[in-house]
Amino acid sequence: MKEGRTHKKFQKFGMVIDLDKCTGCGSCMVACMAENNVPFRKDESNKLLSITWMRVYKLTNGMPFPKIDVCYLPRPCMQCEGQHEGHSPCVSVCPAIATDYSMESGIVSQIYTRCFGCRYCMASCPYHARYFNWWDPIWPDGMEKYLSPNVSPRMRGVVEKCSFCFHRYQLAKDRAFMEGRPELQEDEYQTACTQACPAGAITFGDLNNPKHTVSKMAEPDPKHSGRPKNPNAFRLLERLGTNPKVYYLSSREWVRRAGDNYLKNEKKVKKPVHHG
Amino acid sequence: MKIGRRGFLSFVIGGAAGTALSPLPWKMMDDSSIWTQMWPWTPVPEDGEASYVNSVCTLCSGHCGITVRKIDNRAVKIEGMKGHPVNNGGMCLLGLSGLQLLYGPMRVKTPLKRTGKRGQGQWKKISWNDAVSEVVEKLRDIRSEGNPQTVGFISGSDRGTVSRLFDRFLTAYGSPNFMRMPSVRDSYELTQYLMQGVQALPGFDFENADFIVSFGSGIIDGWGSPVRMSRVHSAWQSADVKVIQIEPRLSNTAAKSDKWIPINPGTEAALAMGLAHVIVKESLYDAAFVKNYVEGFFDWKNRVIDKYNPDTVASITGIDRGTIVVLARGFANASKPLAVCGRGNGTTPVSLDECMAVNALNALVGNINKKGGVWAVSEPNYINWPEIEMDAKAAAGLQHERLDGAGSKTYPFTRYLLPRLPETIDSGEKFPLQALFVSGANPLYTHPDTRAVRNAFDKIPLVVSFSSYMDETAQNADLILPNHVYLERYEDVPTPAGMIQPVIGLSRPVVAPQFDTRHVGDVVIQMAKGLGGSVAKTFPWDSYDSCLKETLGDLWNFLMEEGFWSNTGAMPPFFGTSYETASGKFELINKDTGSIPQFKPVSIEGDEKDYPLLLIPYDSIRLACGFIGDPPFVMKTVEDSVLKGKDVFVELNPKTARNQGLREGQRVVLTTPKGKAEVKVHLFEGIMPGLVALPRGLGHTAWDEYLAGKGINFNALIGPVEDPDSGLDAAWGIRAKLEKA
Amino acid sequence: MHTLDDHAKDISEDAADEAGPDLSLEMNLKEQDTGAGGTIILFFILGLFASLVVGWIIFPKLLYSNKKQPIDFNHVFHVEEVDNGCESCHFFRADGTFSGAPKLAQCIDCHEEIQGISPDEIKFVEEYVSKEREVPWLIYSRQPDCVFFSHAAHIKGAQMDCVTCHGHMGESESLKVYEENRITGYSRDIWGKSIGGFKKNTWDRMKMDDCAECHRENAANIEITDIPTPTQRLIDHIVNLVPPGTSTFGKGGSVQTERDPCFACHK
């Protein structure tokens, strides 16, 4: 197979979430819903049906009183890259080309009008980051006034998920075009959850750009599909090989361990390998 | 020519071939797929010009700066204001859902007059003129009968021009019964008054502290100004500040702290005294500060040494002796230690004992009015209005004692005692309340013993609500005069809860009023003008906006430009000279009242035999429990271990559950001396055995269908417990039992 | 051998017997055909012709309803009056978003009072300007909500001309009829005037394929030196057992389509 690609260095947008700082307040969830026209229903207590592109999970260490510990874990779409470019679990199964991996941004898109609702991608997503619209979105009379024109409301029967607020990238690019700048600054494209987080627990940026804070925090190792070199950093279900772009930081061993499945006799989380 | 079967078939085949060769099927396929992809009933948000308006969020006392994104005339997103001293771009989930409150179905769209029985929800629309003149008539009657003191006003706040207009109106009218909603600020104000001789706001310099002992304060669960506290919490993580959380349940704050120390509920003051004991006995206190600026130390010291040795405290609090001693040493040896109280999100007061004991701890380490300490923050006084003109009727009315007993002989220094109101009304020991106005408050939901509050309200002939939303109080009012919501009106916003530097914000209209509502300030001015005489003269302004502009003076232009004013270089009042007590020092013992930091158990309602368990509330930032209820977005964030369908879960330690024969998810009846309700059991290792915890903020009977009828209201199951020293409601829980449903 | 041959003969005779009636039927048909074969072809041609007429001529007439713009507008005249061409009225905002059809605010500078004698202008001033109502223009190029289109990226970024997509709108003296698709509600200009979907000029159609055509050839962000031909690509895929959607060979950054990523134009 010959590949004659001498392309510019791609961007690879990713997120680092500091679980020591996260207070589990849920601002990211609501910021996301408000930004992305996410619908709501009268009863949202069935969490399998409740559409939350960003969802904060509550983890416990399973110890008895008073040794119990709790940690919150915000879960956006992991924008998996897979083991080779764009082989994310969902993109590779979509029969309708409704979800796509972008080499330019590293973002997994979801095209609602293209989706015919087979939910194969939901089955393949190991992070439950995808949601199906079982109902028409209905806003109470007058409330549709707050809907943002930058994100299209989804119809019944399609799958939706976090887009890393890609429309914000587009808007930032528009401004840059206007000002004749080819590149965006780090702070020009930030997701709604990053911006809203009262604790400043979320950092967003280009993982391929060593100057961006996310790269400095997570220290992704390109030789090992982005596995973090920072010993406090981990990714969810690392060993599945999904190569997600969301990194978590925690100083607590049990939290890092909760990020993957381990056999009972497996004693320690494998220390990230250091190179060079 | 005869068309035979073959001819016909041939025609059809030809037709099919022709159709296939024509664009019809392909175009139809394309169009119908477009149609199915864009159902006409799926809304298409209109595009337009984007603009941003800076304002201030007033949904809680956190007062974050907000930047609202607009597309043409529509507000589409609320974001935190960058560079604002409180939140610097961050935003809590309630503030982020503000547009659902602006455009939502819970809004009262026009003035309403009750037609059916109270609370039946039968209303008729009336015009603003009719509504205001109806109120004025009633007020005029009451006044002409010589009973102006029988009019009361419940307000969410007592700061800022709007609240001051209410107060001013009542004073000019002749009633002393202006009441503020209770919070831990009541306890702190009284404590600071008794120990430091000042009437000020409690401010906490968390940013510069390095060892925090929190007596149950939900630092990241909504306490103080929530976004500021989140930012502070993150700064602590980076700076390695020690945080010790003392409370019976593993709250988010406890989980995020360096150490969680479970404590028998209601014994926080005992622990504070125990810590003081160790600090005093081991001479770990700031000797210079104590020597120069503290009065009554030696008397108090002897008491502390006598009564609160760690063993005694250990048996009261359930915390072992070693932990107490280590904690005391850690606190006293830290360079900037800070102790703080006020349970949960701080919307309920604590006993005077507890607040004074915690304040005494801060005094022992010398961090009163100091970097990293507790400050008595005096607000910039920009409200300088002309003297109130009082006629004879007003003067006579003001001679009466307040209905809630604040400022009476029993509670001379407490300013507001709203929780005592229902009981006073019920007992009829003073005068009856003939008219009650409620603004920025929802006492029928937020007050303990909601049934008793409702009964008391039923005895008031006229209840007027200024609520923008159909809340419980509005639903049970006679008249609703809906205020603009905060995104539709001007209002000055005073210093956020717990801040050390004074901030003045300006909340301003982001969009034009969406419905036929009116600024409550305008309504008060109109009521005054309607009454005429000296009351009218007290309100020389045409409208609220002109009043605000005039009051702010030069500040108005500044605020319009910048959105907020803040004294970033604010320094604490010099700790040596900032005491206005009789001795001029920080008084550990107030000679007038005999108040002293100590521990007396706050009584708890219910008999242990009938009610073997203790019910305590817990606060979550995802459940708004004040005068604002959860908007739909926030309801989405409520976990399914808190609310499932319409059922709320109570938290039980698995050990307790075993003893009671209960299991996860079981439906049970929760009974307290105040009431009973059906709930489900959730087993949680993070709660002390013997306790039952119920979240506050659910069980609304009004509001909208996204919130109402889900779970139960904690306040329906608990009654107020009067603190004998302050009169404040010091209840921290109630005895309870669980039975299988 | 003999016996076998005989047997074979028997069989072929049997076969001939069995085929007999069929053959005669064929004969009959042939006889009839000489009279009715032409009719059948005629019917076929009739059906073909009728359906072609329906598909190509009647169908578009039924599919689209003609709508008139609320008032007429002379682009030629206005372009002459302004300094900055199309962007004078269809301008970019400071944040890079595109204003689209002008609002009253842009027109009001000149049209606060009636300027000339055109009945459309009189209607405009009386019905809209003085009543402060926005003109409900019917937008020929209105795209579905799922489409994200950045004018800034095309005009400022790629330095394209308005004409490339919008045609010579600025040279029109009056607004053409707005043909609304009865099924989708969008203008006929999206599919293009030609019901067959053919186009001569870049501005004849505005469907996704038309965007994609350009985006395939001019995918902006990636510089690739040695692009395999589509055939070569297909062979490579097969030889290397690479399922579609897992490797990129095209110019674009999309893993699925080998064009620009879907989010480039979708929201």
Between CA B111 and CA A36 the distance in angstroms is: 34
Topology adopted by domain B613-740? Barwin-like endoglucanases (2.40.40)
Distance of CA B323 to the CA centre of its chain: 33
DSSP B684: -
* pLDDT given for residue C23 in this prediction: 46
Chain B residues with CB under 8 Å of A47 CB are 639-640
Residue B103 β-bridge partners: none
Classify burial at B319, counting beta carbons within 10 Å of its beta carbon; exposed 0-12, middle 13-18, buried 19 or more. Answer: buried
Please give the average per-residue pLDDT across C54-66, as a whole number.
Answer: 95
Question: Given an 8 Å threshold on Cβ–Cβ distance, is A30 in contact with B645?
Answer: no
Question: Which structural domain, as residue segments, surrounds residue A125?
Answer: 13-258
The residues in B 168-227 lying below 8 A from A, measured between CB atoms, are: 220, 226-227
Between CA B169 and CA A31 the distance in angstroms is: 40
Between CA B654 and CA B660 the distance in angstroms is: 10
* pLDDT given for residue C226 in this prediction: 47
Lowest mean pLDDT among B73-87, B416-430, C28-42, C98-112: C28-42
Q: How big, in percent rounded to 5, are the helix, strand and coil portions of chain C?
A: 50, 5, 40
The answer to whether residue B201 scores a pLDDT higher than 80 is yes
Report the gap between the CA of C161 and the closest CA in chain A (Å): 15
Chain B residues with CB under 8 Å of C93 CB are 49-50
Closest alpha carbon within chain B to C207: B30
Helix/strand/coil for B498: strand
Share of chain C above pLDDT 90, in %: 54
Write out pLDDT tens, residues B228-251: 999 999 999 999 899 999 999 999
Chain C residues with CB under 8 Å of B46 CB are none
Which of the pair, B615 or C13, is modelled with greater confidence? B615
Question: Given an 8 Å threshold on Cβ–Cβ distance, is B49 in contact with C97?
Answer: yes
Contact C101, C139 (CB under 8 A): yes
The answer to whether residue B573 scores a pLDDT higher than 90 is no
Out of A86, A91, A178, whose CB is closest to C152? A178
* pLDDT given for residue A87 in this prediction: 87
CA angle (B123, B126, B131) in 5-degree steps: 110
Chain B residues with CB under 8 Å of A25 CB are 92-93, 220, 226, 230, 252, 621-622
Between CA B219 and CA C121 the distance in angstroms is: 64
Q: How many CB atoms lie within 10 A of CB C255?
A: 30
Chain A residues with CB under 8 Å of B78 CB are 34
Closest alpha carbon within chain B to A21: B234
Mean pLDDT of the residues in chain A: 91
Between CA B193 and CA B85 the distance in angstroms is: 27
Contact B22, C63 (CB under 8 A): no
The answer to whether residue C259 scores a pLDDT higher than 90 is no
Chain C residues with CB under 8 Å of A103 CB are 222, 248, 253-255, 261
The residues in C 147-206 lying below 8 A from A, measured between CB atoms, are: 148, 150, 152-153, 156-157
Share of chain A above pLDDT 70, in %: 93
Question: Given an 8 Å threshold on Cβ–Cβ distance, is C248 in contact with A150?
Answer: no
Report the gap between the CA of C219 and the closest CA in chain A (Å): 11
* pLDDT given for residue A10 in this prediction: 83
The answer to whether residue C21 scores a pLDDT higher than 50 is no
Out of A35, A140, A152, whose CB is closest to B77? A35
Question: Given an 8 Å threshold on Cβ–Cβ distance, is B90 in contact with A197?
Answer: yes
Tell me the pTM: 0.92
Question: Given an 8 Å threshold on Cβ–Cβ distance, is A97 in contact with C257?
Answer: yes
- For B201-377, CATH gives 3.40.228.10
Chain A residues with CB under 8 Å of B100 CB are 143, 146
Which amino acid, B653?
A: N
Confidence of residue C237 (pLDDT cuts 50, 70, 90): low
Between CA B168 and CA B139 the distance in angstroms is: 15
CATH, residue A113: 3.30.70.20
Return the number of CB contacts < 8 Å for A and C: 140
Write out pLDDT tens, residues A10-30: 899 999 999 999 999 999 999
Chain B residues with CB under 8 Å of A20 CB are 237, 256
Question: Given an 8 Å threshold on Cβ–Cβ distance, is C183 in contact with B6?
Answer: no
- Indicate the number of domains in chain A: 1
* pLDDT given for residue C1 in this prediction: 42
Out of B23, B37, B50, whose CB is closest to C55? B23
Please give the average per-residue pLDDT across B554-565, as a whole number.
Answer: 92
Report the gap between the CA of C99 and the closest CA in chain B (Å): 7
Residue A6 inside a domain? The answer is no
Nearest Cα residue to A191 out of A142, A245, A243 = A245
Question: Given an 8 Å threshold on Cβ–Cβ distance, is C49 in contact with B8?
Answer: no
Confidence of residue C257 (pLDDT cuts 50, 70, 90): confident
Which of the pair, C100 or C25, is modelled with greater confidence? C100
HEC-encoded secondary structure of chain A? CCCEECCCCCCCEEEEEECCCCCCCCHHHHHHHHHCCCCCCCCCCCCCCCCCCCEEEEEECCCCCCCCCEEEEEECCCCCCCCCCCCCCCCCCCCCCCEEEECCCCCEEECCCCCCCCCHHHHHCCCCCCEECCCCCCCCCCHHHHCCCCCCCCCCCCEECCCCCHHHHHHHHHHHHHCCCCCCCHHHCCCHHHHHCCCCCEEEEECCCCCCHHHHHHCEEHHHCCEECCCCEECCCHHHCCCCCEEEECCCHHHHHHCCCCCCCCCCCCCCCCCC
Confidence of residue B430 (pLDDT cuts 50, 70, 90): confident
Reported for C202-211, long-range contacts at CB under 8 A and 24+ positions apart, including other chains, are: C202/C164, C202/C165, C203/C163, C203/C164, C203/C165, C203/C166, C203/C167, C204/C167, C206/C141, C206/C143, C206/C165, C208/C265, C211/C265
* pLDDT given for residue C225 in this prediction: 43
* pLDDT given for residue C27 in this prediction: 46
Residue A201 inside a domain? The answer is yes
Between CA A198 and CA B165 the distance in angstroms is: 33
* pLDDT given for residue B576 in this prediction: 64
Best to test chain A binding among B47, B64, B72, B91 (most A CBs inside 10 Å): B91
The answer to whether residue C244 scores a pLDDT higher than 80 is no
Question: Given an 8 Å threshold on Cβ–Cβ distance, is C145 in contact with A153?
Answer: yes
* pLDDT given for residue C3 in this prediction: 47
Question: Given an 8 Å threshold on Cβ–Cβ distance, is B38 in contact with C44?
Answer: no
Question: Given an 8 Å threshold on Cβ–Cβ distance, is C92 in contact with A178?
Answer: yes
Which amino acid, B18?
A: G
Question: Given an 8 Å threshold on Cβ–Cβ distance, is A109 in contact with C263?
Answer: yes
Q: How many CB atoms lie within 10 A of CB B390?
A: 18
Confidence of residue C216 (pLDDT cuts 50, 70, 90): confident
Write out pLDDT tens, residues B648-688: 999 999 999 999 999 999 999 999 999 999 999 999 999 99
* pLDDT given for residue B3 in this prediction: 73
Q: What are phi and psi of C89, to 5 degrees?
A: -110, -40
The answer to whether residue B265 scores a pLDDT higher than 60 is yes
Question: Given an 8 Å threshold on Cβ–Cβ distance, is A170 in contact with C97?
Answer: no
Out of A64, A146, A198, whose CB is closest to B99? A146
The answer to whether residue B505 scores a pLDDT higher than 70 is yes
Chains meeting A at 3+ CB pairs closer than 8 A?
B, C
Chains meeting B at 3+ CB pairs closer than 8 A?
A, C
Residue A4 inside a domain? The answer is no
* pLDDT given for residue B212 in this prediction: 97
Please give the average per-residue pLDDT across B722-727, as a whole number.
Answer: 94
Mean pLDDT of the residues in chain C: 81
Best to test chain B binding among A32, A61, A115, A146 (most B CBs inside 10 Å): A146
H or E element at residue B234: helix B226-239
Chain C residues with CB under 8 Å of A111 CB are 146, 262, 266
Best to test chain C binding among B28, B31, B71 (most C CBs inside 10 Å): B31
Question: Given an 8 Å threshold on Cβ–Cβ distance, is C47 in contact with B47?
Answer: no
Out of B13, B34, B47, whose CB is closest to C47? B13
End-to-end CA distance of chain C: 81
Q: How many CB atoms lie within 10 A of CB A223?
A: 10
Which of the pair, A83 or B32, is modelled with greater confidence? B32
Write out pLDDT tens, residues A123-170: 999 999 999 999 999 999 999 999 999 999 999 999 999 999 999 999
Mean pLDDT of the residues in chain B: 95
Between CA B297 and CA B274 the distance in angstroms is: 16
Question: Given an 8 Å threshold on Cβ–Cβ distance, is B27 in contact with C191?
Answer: yes
Specify the CATH architecture of the domain B112-184+381-562.
Answer: 3-Layer(aba) Sandwich (3.40)
Q: How many CB atoms lie within 10 A of CB B114?
A: 19
Residue A141 inside a domain? The answer is yes
* pLDDT given for residue C242 in this prediction: 60
Question: Given an 8 Å threshold on Cβ–Cβ distance, is C266 in contact with A105?
Answer: no
Query: How do beta strands B242-246 and B211-217 pair?
Result: parallel
Between CA B264 and CA B242 the distance in angstroms is: 22
Best to test chain A binding among C143, C247, C256, C258 (most A CBs inside 10 Å): C256
Confidence of residue C117 (pLDDT cuts 50, 70, 90): confident
Write out pLDDT tens, residues B461-500: 999 999 999 999 999 999 999 999 999 999 999 999 999 9
Return the number of CB contacts < 8 Å for A and B: 198
H or E element at residue C50: helix C2-53
Report the gap between the CA of C88 and the closest CA in chain B (Å): 17
Confidence of residue A223 (pLDDT cuts 50, 70, 90): confident
Chain C residues with CB under 8 Å of B16 CB are 47, 51
Contact A36, B632 (CB under 8 A): no
Residue A275 inside a domain? The answer is no
Domain ranges of chain C: 2-65, 75-217, 224-267
Write out pLDDT tens, residues B134-162: 999 999 999 999 999 999 999 999 999 99
Residue B503 β-bridge partners: B566
Chains meeting C at 3+ CB pairs closer than 8 A?
A, B
Residue A273 inside a domain? The answer is no
Share of chain B above pLDDT 90, in %: 91
Residue A7 inside a domain? The answer is no
Question: Given an 8 Å threshold on Cβ–Cβ distance, is C257 in contact with A103?
Answer: no
For the record, the structure tokens of B68 come out as: 């609202």
Best to test chain C binding among B6, B10, B37, B71 (most C CBs inside 10 Å): B10
